[in-house]
Structure 1
Amino acid sequence: MTDKAVIATEVRRSQAERTASMRARLIDAAVDCLNRLGYSATTLSTIAEAAGVSRGGMLHQFPSKVDLMLAVVAYASGADERSSQPPALNDDDDKLAYFMSRTDLTWRMLTQAPAMAKLEIMMAARSDQVLAAKLPDMFNSIEQNRRERMWALAQEIGVQDREAIEAMVGLHMAAMRGLAMELLVTGDRAEVERSFALLKRYKETLIGDLLAKAAAGRASA
């Protein structure tokens, strides 16, 4: 590679790094503003100021508020997927433990700032027509990916009822989002955690039943 090619590559890389850094600062600032101010009071100007980015620089990355809000949703949704690839698990008990642990992991992520900002955006879609037009496709894609991942893990532990797993995932996500909102409003973590523990016991019972059903089906085959 010639010296000019090396320089050009380094310039492109540094530009990409600067762009990624700016986008990350803007998303972090948007999360902070959404949690402190709410959706309506979170403007592009307040986000740019919080991020230490010029308005022009911000508009170059995110031409509209909705564009930035969708980026926040994507970031927040990725937070509970960064550990989605299971470690090398060979023992059936380890696979089951990992499958059950996903509920705790998701709950922890849902009570952190990015996920709380995502809830704020989801609620805002009721009154922001542009957001309402764009958010559902992204949200549905995220949730479908979540169901696919959980179904793949369920198969690893021997579950054969896909419909039950997908219904469980839908119920758990809706319930945990509701509990996260209750925690935000009441601040009563002890009460919320008791409700979450009940949700986990439901999952344990359901998975036990599904595994017994699958075992019975194999025995009678």
Structure 2
Amino acid sequence: MDEANIGADTSRVTSVARKTRRSQADRSAATRAKVIAAARDVLCAQGYSGATMHAIRDAAGMSLGAIQHQFPTKAKLMAAVAAEFSAYRIGVYREAIRRGRSPRQSMENLIDANFEMISRPEMAAVLEIHLARRNDPDLDREVGPSTRRFDRRVRLWAYSILHAAGISEDERHLSVQLLNNAVTRGLTVEYIRNPDAAFVARAVRIWKQQMLDLIFGTGG
């Protein structure tokens, strides 16, 4: 066999190997996405205690072994649910801030983007996860790192907006951020109990105006 034929055969083998690896990776990614979606839905419908691996297995329509191949423990699966939503929120928030033509508008866009999350099933699912962390050390250990990264990212964005407006971050502004987190979680619970979008929207409009006035002043 001449060198040209050897080279051609090697290229074909390499191409097949790459396609096989891609195919396996695609299947693995599809399985992970399906399991994460099932876990999110069960969390929303049944809460954290009801989101057992067996309940998620039934919702996903696959074997427990297939799920545990991707997520060996419930804590790791819950962490994946939380991390995926954090990544989504970061992308949405970044784009919302980018659209702002002034610091106030960027902050307003960020507030709007945050409250748009309330009606998403992921928000309810992640809230269930965070509430469960206090009594589950394994869950807290798995979820904690990505949560802290997300919180730091959002705080840095808020700081950058304030800095661009010539406002120094102080205890008052930190308290406003804390209050905003509390309002977001509270309205998420209200939406779970009574998914009335108009009701939530009215509350959001009132709180958003209060926030902007507290941050930028009533004449800002």
> Where does residue 217 of structure 1 map in the other structure?
none
Deviation, structure 1 residue 34: 0.6
Q: Structure 2: how far apart are the matches of 1:144 and 1:3?
A: 47
Tell me the equivalent position of 1:203: 211
Identical columns (%): 29
Q: Which runs of 5+ in 1 are unaligned?
A: 213-221
1:142 to 137, 150, 171: 150
Flag the structure with higher helix content. 2
Pair 1:55–1:84, CA change in 2 (3 A): same
Q: For this pair of structures, how many residues does the alignment match?
A: 210
Task: Note the residue ranges of structure 2 that are not aligned, 5 or more in a row.
Answer: 1-9
Matches of 1:3 and 1:202, distance apart in 2: 65
Aligned residues of 1:30 and 1:47 also touching (Cα < 8 A) = yes
Say whether 1:125 aligns with 2:133. yes
Amino acid at match of 1:130: D
- Corresponding residue number in structure 2 for 1:86: 95
Instruction: Give the 3 Å change call, closer, same or farther, for CA 60–147 of structure 1 in structure 2.
Output: same
Q: CA deviation at 1:128?
A: 2.5
RMSD: 2.7
Return the letter of the residue paired with 1:30: A
Give the counterpart of 1:161 among 168, 171, 180. 168
SS at 2:86 equivalent: helix
TM-score normalized with structure 2 length: 0.82
Aligned equivalents of 2:178, 2:219: Cα separation in 1: 20
Which residue type is aligned with residue 151 of structure 1? Y
Higher relative contact order (CA 8 A, sep 6+): 2
Contact 1:26-1:51 within 8 A present in 2 as well: yes
Which one of the candidate residues 186, 196, 209 is aligned to 1:178? 186
Q: Work out whether residues 77 and 115 of structure 1, in 8 Å CA contact, stay in contact via their aligned partners in 2.
A: no
Match in the other structure for 2:31:
22
1:211 deviation in Å?
9.2
Superposition deviation, residue 82 in structure 1: 2.0
CA distance in 2, matches of 1:89, 1:51: 37
Counterpart in the other structure of 2:67 = 58
Task: Tell me how far apart the structure 1 counterparts of residues 199 and 99 of structure 2 sit (CA, whole Å).
Answer: 37
User: How many Å apart are 1:88 and its aligned residue?
Assistant: 9.9
Larger Rg: 2
Residue 32 (structure 1) aligned with residue 23 (structure 2): no
- Write out per-residue CA displacement over residues 64-110 of structure 1, whole angstroms, 9 at most, x where no aligned residue: 001000111111222322223338969844x5323311111111113
For residues 218 and 163 of structure 2, the distance between their equivalents in structure 1, rounded to whole angstroms, comes to 11
The one-letter amino acid of 1:132's match is D
* Aligned CA distance change for structure 1 residues 15 and 107 (closer, same or farther; 3 Å): same
- Corresponding residue for 1:218? none
Equivalent pair of 2:82/2:126 in contact (CA under 8 Å)? yes
Report how far residue 186 of structure 1 moved.
4.4
Matched, 1:103 2:107: no
Q: 1:25 to 1:91 in 2, by over 3 A?
A: closer
Q: Tell me, what secondary structure is at the counterpart of 2:93?
A: coil
